[in-house]
Amino acid sequence: MTGLPDHVLSDSALHRVLQALQAQGNRAYLVGGAVRNALLNEPVDDIDIATDATPDRTAALAKAAGLRAVPTGIDHGTVTVVADRRGFEVTTFRRDVSTDGRHAIVAFSTDLTEDAARRDFTINALYADPTGTVIDPMGGLPDLWARRLRFVGDPDQRIREDYLRILRFFRFLARYGRQADPQAVAACAVHRQGLAGIARERIGAEMRKLLDAADPGPAVALMQATGVLPMILPNARTEGLTALLTVENGVPPVWRRRLAALSPTDCAMTLRLSRAETSGQDRLRDAREKDWSVDEAAYRLGADLGTDHALLAAAAGHPLPQDWRERIERAASASLPVAAADLAPLTGPALGRGLKAAEAAWIASGFSLPAPALIDMAHLAQEETP
């Protein structure tokens, strides 16, 4: 019998919540990602709980145990129970009454199997009771061990219930899968037009998570092959992402960098990027167009974007210097040792040209030229200006 690792259930706050929910005969189970990740010995970030208690009863049971209950998603059966300043989402067993491809109307249930049947993937339809015993009503364990991603039940039906599940499929494939169920892949291809009705914010959120996976390459390639990728990023270049993944070589994944490689043209509206995220993409594109060196990019963009630029340049065929990491650190912390006051009597446009010349010389020297030499360079630039 499969069970969860002991450290998951030794969580005192979790124990208090489960004990409260079972105090008067109701059932409570860990469900979904917490069970999946615990079985894979991966970090468990959020713990969701499924119960046969209705939301009002969940709240009453929590309060009776001295815990706070917050109705965070009451229409869908979710109450957040707070124990030791930590929130646990507790959701009543549900079954779908109707769906429109974006939202579902649900009815509460007392049947765990009904609840499992409405979930997206078999590896997410795993439950564990308070003793740690895993309950697998949809055959998710064999899929989990094989790293096989498969929809619960009929893939076409699951996708028609919520077309965002197409992107979730590829995101989970990138994160957890080695095998993609052929029926699932075919269904994603057939229903890809349904993504046109999904809010761009939701699509952007899924793409961020997908591109943050250790190796999103195979999943993105499959998105391209099924016609899903062109639906959301019409100008995407999978070869750019492939080249970047090759040169990253142990550098922690950053979705921003991977998106710049995958879709070098403007994707701010397509994925509803924030202003800061859009600025990052614009600055990386500008650095590539200006063909900045590792030093100049890190100096002007900072260490994070400078690292992104260096790796994107390497992916485009510009070899990285062996000491590129050290150079980025040095450049990102460098500060030009001359200011406008040092260039008197230069004023106006002449002053601007002088500062620009001094800065260019300083960057080219590896940030080593002293202030007197830079001042001379600034004045010399005026003499050479026609």
What are the extents of the domains in the chain? Answer: 1-146, 336-384
Q: Quick one: CA torsion of 171, 98, 134, 50, rounded to 10 degrees?
A: 100
Q: Quote the pLDDT of residue 100.
A: 62
Peptide linkage before 345 cis (omega within 30 of 0): yes
Q: What distance in Å separates the CA atoms of residue 149 and residue 168, rounded to the nearest whole number?
A: 11
> How do beta strands 104-108 and 94-99 pair?
antiparallel
Query: Class of 1-146 per CATH?
Result: alpha beta
C-alpha to C-alpha distances, 33 to 41, 89, 212, 284, 379, nearest whole angstrom: 12, 12, 17, 34, 64
Amino acid at 179: Q
Q: Quote the pLDDT of residue 383.
A: 63
pLDDT one-digit tens code per residue, 142-180: 999 999 999 999 999 999 999 999 999 999 999 999 999
Q: Per the structure block, which two tokens stand in for 318?
A: 């510009």
| Inter-residue contact 48 to 156 (CB < 8 Å) | no
| Inter-residue contact 125 to 39 (CB < 8 Å) | no
From the first residue on, what is the mean pLDDT of each consecutive set of 10 residues in the chain (386 residues)? Answer: 83 94 95 95 92 96 96 88 95 81 77 95 97 96 97 96 96 95 98 95 96 96 97 94 94 96 87 95 95 95 97 95 94 93 87 90 92 88 63
| Inter-residue contact 321 to 294 (CB < 8 Å) | yes
Q: Quote the pLDDT of residue 268.
A: 86
| Inter-residue contact 167 to 203 (CB < 8 Å) | yes
pLDDT one-digit tens code per residue, 344-354: 888 888 888 88
pLDDT one-digit tens code per residue, 305-320: 999 999 999 999 999 9
| Inter-residue contact 62 to 69 (CB < 8 Å) | yes
Structure pTM? 0.90
Break the chain down into helix, strand, coil percent, rounded to 5.
55, 15, 30
